[in-house]
Chains A and B, each alone.
Chain A
């Protein structure tokens, strides 16, 4: 197959064989089709560009360095109305990431719990979970987002805020929490956390090796947890508690100080988690049911306890079935987060829309949206594929 245009003798080139020989004819035809498709694409691109230029649209990405002049209420990085459009987009991107990441974590927790509970022998529990799953996954997520938002804005008004220990306050403008103020020395506490994690990993490796060699078990989970929490705590007290709290104070209109979790973020997060959680629970249930009953019986016969059977036998095999569809759910959740616009959560789409309107650069902004969601999705599925490969059944 090295060079199809050479005949089998290898030294003489015969043009006629391009059409008479079946294999080379096929390749020539395929090349022709490829060329035609490339031409069509080139034509469409050139035509679009020419038309856009004529209409005065799509003048490039230079506008990203222009001043934004509008404010954003939830920003994870410094941003003022004097910042650039580009920075505003980054703020929106981070807000998308924030709600997606929060949603993925809770949706997974809800999904796994509900999936296992639905298989429970307890009639009430399994029916209650069935009701939750059937309700949430059959109502459009947009309505659920609006429902949660309406519920949250029906909370007490600012002046009647629910106080949680006079440190945190809940009202219809969100949750006002005390903000940590890091003082000198706090970096050592973070270093201790990191050290604790590393130590816990080493410990668990050592424990596994020891168990494989001697059969003796070691409670590496509890010991690891102790390391991760204990080490930083010790450092924290040795350094004289280098952490202060900025507690919210009631002002004329709102609370001041601390940081505010907006009802928009909470509503979006709750809606996305419960909605996607319902789908994940079905995936988990199907995964568990896909492991044959014989596996459980065999595990019991070997003397494993029920929770060990679940943890060591059922779940690892179920995961192989669960991971691929779970990936799609994560992608769906991330993309659904763009429904944020309905309640005014300032995510990438919301802020991009504002920029689009103020700058008129519709195609560029839409291009950025697509590129960002595409890369987010590809990254997520790349990670999940890697994880899937890692937990795949090793065939010997």
Chain B
């Protein structure tokens, strides 16, 4: 019996040693994704426009489209994605621990997340800001008139911190009502557990679009923060960060060059615009530098189209969300969306 215990202990020690070596010999994320044959992408648990299920039960939306493009660029097939639904709270541990390869979940790029939490934001795909939604019947015209109100708020977000700052600076009292997910927050707001709900303005538009009586609710004029949203990866794997960053840039540049889902295959054969040629691989060797196959950008754009197509399909003025491009228009159209050149 005792001898058995002893051998058991030694065997356990051996196992630990093996798993330890496996841990330390961690390969690059790009190789991991290729080896697994699928991209593990962290998305929202459900936010109209950004990540929601279509009538066939497939995940779709603005944030989802980015991961599909990335899977196209890396694996050549936008469907090879494993979706991991994450709340505001468990999204960061999921990325740190390697449960996901990339987080595309309307996440605000902040100093502490970039520097302290050990992530790399690969760019901004949506310039947002925090706002409030409330019932028009309240008679309040501005968020500064909310003295004494109950405010529904998603926990573990930057909005929670902005909210506290805003009310403290303006010296007004409020009752925070913390809620875990956007869906639950919407229900609490509908039940009038709170007077106003605060989150990113895009999220407010998305939430308002689901109300049967959308006109009885108004989005307050104040935008109380800058919320640049974008995909992020773990810090320390620069190759993977480059792949993620340039996939996003390719989508934005594609809009600028007029490359669309419909014409990308045609344009990939070669055009008289060297920038398009370099991006789509008929000229130069950008793909080799990135460690991807020559048609990476073609596959990325094929997935859901360029930035403009994705935006208009899920968020634009023709959707129930009805968000105008605004800040998110290309730099030459009066917005601040500006991707570095592909050269």
Contacts and interface: CB of A to CB of B under 8 A. Distances in A.
Interface of A: 26, 29-30, 32-33, 36-37, 39-40, 43-44, 47, 51, 54-57, 69-73, 80-82, 153-154, 157-158, 172-173, 251-254, 256, 260, 263, 341-342, 344, 346, 350, 353-354, 356-360, 362
Contacts of A32: 6
Given A40-B16, A81-B164, A253-B138, A56 B148 contact: no
Interface in B238-277: none
B180 A344 contact: yes
B117 A360 contact: yes
Contacts of A172: 191-193
A260 to B, nearest CB: 8
Contact of B165 (A33, A57, A69, A157): A69
A71 B23 contact: no
Contact of A256 (B148, B163, B168, B179): B148
Interface in B111-126: 112-113, 116-118
Contacts of A29: 2-3, 6
Contacts of B16: 40, 43-44, 47
A73 B175 contact: yes
A180 B96 CA distance: 49
A231 B13 CA distance: 68
Contacts of A71: 160, 163-164, 167, 174, 176
Which of B118, B149, B176 gathers the greatest number of chain A CB atoms within 10 Å? B176
Interface string B52-77: 00000000000000000000000000
17 contacts: A26-B2, A51-B24, A69-B164, A70-B164, A158-B192, A173-B150, A173-B193, A254-B148, A260-B175, A346-B178, A350-B178, A353-B89, A354-B89, A354-B156, A358-B156, A358-B161, A360-B118
Contacts of A73: 175-178
A260 B174 CA distance: 13
Interface string B1-38: 01101100110110011001001100000000000000
Given A72-B176, A353-B155, A354-B155, 8 more contacts: A40-B13, A251-B148, A252-B149, A253-B149, A254-B150, A344-B178, A344-B179, A357-B157
Contact of A362 (B93, B165, B174): B93
Contacts, number: 136
B5 A51 contact: no
A253 B150 contact: yes
B149 A33 contact: no
B2 A360 contact: no
Interface size class of B (residues with CB under 8 A): 35 or more
A235 to B, nearest CB: 36
Nearest to B184: A344
Contacts of B12: 40
B78 to A, nearest CB: 30
Which of A154, A341, A350, A353 gathers the greatest number of chain B CB atoms within 10 Å? A353
Nearest to B156: A357
A347 to B, nearest CB: 11
Describe A's contact surface by its main secondary structure. helix
Contacts of B146: 253
A254 B188 contact: no
A39 B13 contact: yes
Contact of A69 (B150, B156, B161): B161
Contacts of A350: 155, 178
B88 interface: yes
Interface string B95-109: 010000000000000
A150 B190 CA distance: 12
B2 A357 contact: no
Contacts of A253: 138, 146-150, 195
Contact of B156 (A26, A55, A353): A353
Contact of B92 (A55, A70, A354, A357): A357
Contacts of A44: 16
Contacts of B192: 153, 157-158, 172
Contacts of A346: 178
Given A357-B88, A360-B116, A154 B191 contact: yes
A342 B180 CA distance: 7
Nearest to B174: A71
A362 B17 CA distance: 25
Interface in B152-200: 155-157, 160-161, 163-165, 167-168, 174-180, 184, 188, 191-193, 195
Contacts of A342: 180
Contacts of A158: 192
A230 B1 CA distance: 69
B118 A55 contact: yes
Nearest to B188: A153
Nearest to B118: A56
